[in-house]
Amino acid sequence: MKLTGAEIFVECLKREGVKTLFALPGGVVLKIFDILHQQKDIDVILTRHEQGAGHMAEGYAKATGKPGVALVTSGPGMSNIVTALVDASMDSVPLVCFSGQVSTSLIGNDAFQEADNMGLSRPCTKYNFLVKDVNDLAVTIKEAFYVATTGRPGPVLVDIPKDVSMNKTDFKYPGSVSIRGYNPTYDGNKWQIKQAAEAIAKARKPILYVGGGVVFSGASEELIELAEMMNIPVDMTLMALGAFPGEHPLSMGMMGMHGTYWANMAVHYSDLVIAVGARFDDRVTGKVSEFCPHAKVIHIDIDPTSIRKNVNVDIPIVGDCKRVLRELNQILRATVNGEQKELRKPWLDQIHEWQRAHPLTYEQDSNGPIKPQHVIKRLYELTKDRDPIVSTDVGQHQMWAAQYFKLTKPRRWLTSGGLGTMGFGFPAAMGAQAAFPGRLVLCVAGDGSVQMNTQELATAVVNKLPVKVVIINNRYHGMVRQWQDLFYEGRYASSYLDVVPDFVKLAEAYGAVGLRAAKVSEIDDVIQEALAVDRPVFVDVPVDQYENCYPMIPAGGCNHEMILADPPELKKKQVVGTPVVGEDKDTVLTA
Amino acid sequence: MAGARTPAISHTPFAIGSPLIFMEHIISVLVENKFGVLSRVAGLFSGRGFNIESLSVAPSLDPSMSMMTIVTRGDDRIIEQIVKQLNKLIDVIKVVDLNENEFVERETALIKVHTKPEDRAEALRIADIFRANVVDSTPTTYTIEVAGDTKKMEAIINLLQPLGIKELVRTGRVAIAREPIRPATAQPKRIAKE
Ligand SMILES: Cc1ncc(C[n+]2csc(CCOP(=O)(O)OP(=O)(O)O)c2C)c(N)n1
Ligand SMILES: [Mg+2]
């Protein structure tokens, strides 16, 4: 029997095990939506904006490890999802995005709602396909899933012209595909792994610098074994949080621009950096020429281009983190003895010294304004037993969440790292919730960021996605304000938000639950109340507007030169009490 | 061991007009012969700030693949990144930095010389010296075809310029390794198994 392209599309998705599709319709994809409407295996979640669909698919993918799938229409549907595609390429998220396209006979004619989807997505996908013939559709979809999920994962776009979805052909779904120009390397070079093992056994001051690759390859177990066996402290990048248990004695927490003092000192003074699934991003290295100046570097990554891109590497190993670590552990197991622990004792003592000297701190006055760190810390403490999935937006609140949430397992942390996309958190949480209906999914949001996707409240309500969004409401683009405090003499150019919606009423307007914690004493109760309802909740927490996030390595600074607190000249400006609004903003905070 | 770490790429990326202090490299890139591949390769160079001095492309012996010859400049680490990034493209089947071994390179140019009657003989003489061919001629022009390496191109252009070059087109360089390089692959381009 012959099937239409639309039927083939749906059939292929079923064969790929797709359970949830984040989608928004339009003229050229109506045929596909019509077929989707008549089946029950794939749950179609209608979003209110294509960017929302894209971030939901990302949240789904980050939480499950399976590809997130989205379907959008041509033209504006496609251009609206571009941000999510860029985000997914930066953070190596496996996505398969389907876009509608005008009929093949119209392509290139500036037809209604035509956009050059291939051109738009080329720089922000791992690969993209235009299906010109319905006979190629099934194989192309198979290839799209294959490319998105293998090697270094990433987003793939499949552009489907309207006539391709209408035309008919015999349906045959390939069991497997291979592409001659695409052969990811999974097994590390044995000789290099042996070199690495020797370097690790000898090092006195080693540090593991682990990134998102550990999460994607599912290498946490191997990482824990390596760290414990050889007594090596673990620095995590923003993307890696949860890859190593946050409360483990060897966990140094997050490194980088807003990483912990000891994580950054440790990498700076180490004699051996073992980078695993990380890419030496500038937010981690600071000034590249001063990054770990005393260390030999081992770099394990599945993407050869990540190696020696930013930093010179002594022992490069191209391969899948899990496989390489497993092999490394096997060699080390044979050589390990009590000596290594002894050898590294002074190093660990030194790190504990750093930990004691500059722990993460904030001062919460029980009658004063709520400190943002305090809300996040309480949220963590009140939910940690439930093993929540936590998403964030982008800004100060994101960094505080990264500092205070000590996640125990991978795939619990959904954040936009490489691109830093405001508005990511809420839809990403919804995507994760769609994958795990029974689990607790939290979103630590910023008042600025959350406004970039609040329309998805409707999607959350309709689809019964009971995510708990805690809005750290400082009425500022806080991170921007912090930079202005530190580097622009307190001139708050376009960082004050002036009007912030009443988030309680906003949630209620959509039929969600809105709550507010206005005083320190209310925080716990309000969080408990939010956790108790089985509906989406916005919790508005007005916080100290002028709190800054530390430690901080100024952009391009060295990792051991952190700003640990507001400089004294800035302190004067922090006269808080009544929220500063409107006209006094200049007077209060100019030096 | 102490001291500053050398960043892998020690300068700001450059776009056009690469600093000549960097060594020139000729890179052969075997790619899928299908639409969009050229823009993927060009997009890679422009997006990452790598320089292209010339690029030529045409189908290879196997018509399902094309061979690109890219002339670029960079220090070792930039070239290493270029080769790796090219390899990462899914439509790229094989990348060879020809500078790693001996190679021969050629370029072809068509030069249309505007000739005054008294210069026509001189134009032919110059063409002869360079073993160039006159492939077309009108009462006022000669079109000369010349093939060779860059030096030869520049030499003939310099000599013909005083006579009046009206138009000049160059193919960009193509190059080939002297020793046989293992053929890329005999694999069909996509395999879909039941
Ligand atoms: C889409 C987008 N636009 C602009 C920025 C630049 N930016 C980074 S953080 C930030 C402020 C975020 O404000 P908010 O969400 O309130 O978080 P806060 O820092 O106050 O916690 C801005 C504007 C960005 N990251 N993303
Ligand atoms: Mg804010």
pLDDT for residue A95 is more than 60: yes
Provide the number of structural domains found in chain A: 3
pLDDT for residue B50 is more than 50: yes
C-beta separation of B165 from B111 below 8 A: yes
Q: What was the pLDDT predicted at A339?
A: 84
* CA–centroid distance, residue A551 to ligand 1 (Å): 18
**Residues A61, A57: Cα–Cα separation, whole Å:** 6
Judgement on whether residues A258 and A377 belong to the same structural domain of the protein: no
Tell me the two tokens of residue B8: 């892998």
**Residues A486, A463: Cα–Cα separation, whole Å:** 43
| Residue A479 designated active-site | yes
Select the residue from A309, A311, A318, A559 to test the B interface by mutation, using most B Cβ atoms within 10 A: A309
| Per-residue pLDDT band at A428 (split at 50, 70, 90) | very high
**Domain CATH number, residue A199:** 3.40.50.1220
Residue A311 and residue B47: Cβ atoms within 8 Å?
A: no
State the helix-helix crossing angle for A50-64 and A76-90, rounded to 10 degrees. Answer: 30
The CA distance from A232 to the nearest CA of chain B, in Å, is 21
Coil, strand or helix: which one is A570?
helix
Q: Please tell me if the CB atom of residue A480 comes closer than 6 angstroms to any atom of ligand 1.
A: yes
Spatial neighbors of B121 by CB under 8 A, at least 6 apart, are none
Spatial neighbors of A55 by CB under 8 A, at least 6 apart, are A84, A87, A421, A423, A424, A427, A428, A431, A453
pLDDT for residue A54 is more than 50: yes
Mutate to test the pocket of ligand 1, among A373, A474, A477 (most ligand atoms within 8 A of CB): A477
Q: What was the pLDDT predicted at B11?
A: 40
**Of B77, B92, B191, Cβ closest to residue A308:** B77
What is the C-alpha radius of gyration for chain B, rounded to an integer number of angstroms? 21
pLDDT for residue A237 is more than 60: yes
Judgement on whether residues A381 and A313 belong to the same structural domain of the protein: no
Residue A242 lies in a domain: yes
**Residues A150, A70: Cα–Cα separation, whole Å:** 19
The CA distance from B9 to the nearest CA of chain A, in Å, is 6
Neighbours of B79 (CB within 10 A): 21
Q: What was the pLDDT predicted at B1?
A: 39
**Of A176, A289, A305, Cβ closest to residue B7:** A289
Mutate to test the pocket of ligand 1, among A55, A449, A481 (most ligand atoms within 8 A of CB): A449
Neighbours of A409 (CB within 10 A): 15
pLDDT for residue B3 is more than 90: no
Which DSSP letter does residue B69 get? E
- A579 versus A150: the higher-pLDDT residue is A150
- Which residues of A fall within a CB distance of 8 Å from B81? 305, 308-309
Name the percent of chain A lying above pLDDT 90: 93
Among the atoms of ligand 1, which is closest to the Cα of residue A446?
15
The CA distance from B179 to the nearest CA of chain A, in Å, is 23
Q: Is B116 exposed, middle or buried (0-12, 13-18, 19+ CB in 10 A)?
A: exposed
Judgement on whether residues A307 and A339 belong to the same structural domain of the protein: yes
Q: Please tell me if the CB atom of residue A420 comes closer than 6 angstroms to any atom of ligand 1.
A: yes
Query: Which region among A43-47, A234-238, A332-336 has the lowest average model confidence (pLDDT)?
Result: A332-336
Judgement on whether residues A75 and A148 belong to the same structural domain of the protein: yes
Judgement on whether residues A143 and A194 belong to the same structural domain of the protein: no
Which DSSP letter does residue B70 get? E
Residue A585 lies in a domain: yes
Residue A326 lies in a domain: yes
Coil, strand or helix: which one is A169?
strand
In one-letter notation, the amino acid at residue A352 is H
**Domain CATH number, residue A31:** 3.40.50.970
Sign of CA dihedral B119, B124, B128, B132: positive
Residue A304 and residue B88: Cβ atoms within 8 Å?
A: yes
- Give the pLDDT confidence of A392-402 residue by residue, as tens digits: 999 999 999 99
pLDDT for residue A227 is more than 50: yes
Provide the domain limits for residue A466: 372-590
Tracing tokens 């500092």 back to the chain, one arrives at A403
Judgement on whether residues A513 and A548 belong to the same structural domain of the protein: yes
pTM: 0.93
The CA distance from B30 to the nearest CA of chain A, in Å, is 10
Distance spanning both ends of chain A, measured CA to CA = 77
Tracing tokens 């890329």 back to the chain, one arrives at B184
User: Phi then psi for B49, rounded to 5 degrees?
Assistant: 70, 25
Residue B20, chain A, CB below 8 Å: the answer is no
* CA–centroid distance, residue A144 to ligand 1 (Å): 33
| Per-residue pLDDT band at A356 (split at 50, 70, 90) | very high
Residue B9 and residue A310: Cβ atoms within 8 Å?
A: yes
**Residues A314, A297: Cα–Cα separation, whole Å:** 5
Residue A204, chain B, CB below 8 Å: the answer is no
**Of B7, B8, B185, Cβ closest to residue A180:** B185
Choosing from A303, A322, A357, the residue where a domain stops is A357
Q: Please tell me if the CB atom of residue A383 comes closer than 6 angstroms to any atom of ligand 1.
A: no
Residue A365 lies in a domain: no
Tracing tokens 């960079």 back to the chain, one arrives at B74
- Exactly one of A19, A66, A113, A290 is catalytic; name it: A113
Residue A145 lies in a domain: yes
Find the residue in A nearest to B84 (Cα).
A305
pLDDT for residue A585 is more than 80: no
Residue A58 lies in a domain: yes
Residue A400 lies in a domain: yes
Coil, strand or helix: which one is A375?
helix
- Give the pLDDT confidence of B7-33 residue by residue, as tens digits: 554 444 333 444 567 899 999 999 999
Name the percent of chain B lying above pLDDT 70: 82
Tell me the two tokens of residue B113: 């010389």
Q: How far is CA B176 from CA A25, A275, B55, B101, B107, in A?
A: 51, 38, 14, 10, 12
Judgement on whether residues A476 and A561 belong to the same structural domain of the protein: yes
- Give the pLDDT confidence of A121-132 residue by residue, as tens digits: 999 999 999 999
pLDDT for residue A588 is more than 80: no
Choosing from A318, A334, A357, the residue where a domain stops is A357
Q: Please tell me if the CB atom of residue A474 comes closer than 6 angstroms to any atom of ligand 1.
A: yes
Judgement on whether residues A129 and A40 belong to the same structural domain of the protein: yes
Instruction: Report ipTM (2 d.p.).
Output: 0.91
Max CA pair span of chain A: 78
User: Across residues A536-560, what is the average pLDDT?
Assistant: 95
Judgement on whether residues A115 and A206 belong to the same structural domain of the protein: no
Strand ranges (E), A319-432: 389-392, 413-414
pLDDT for residue A438 is more than 60: yes
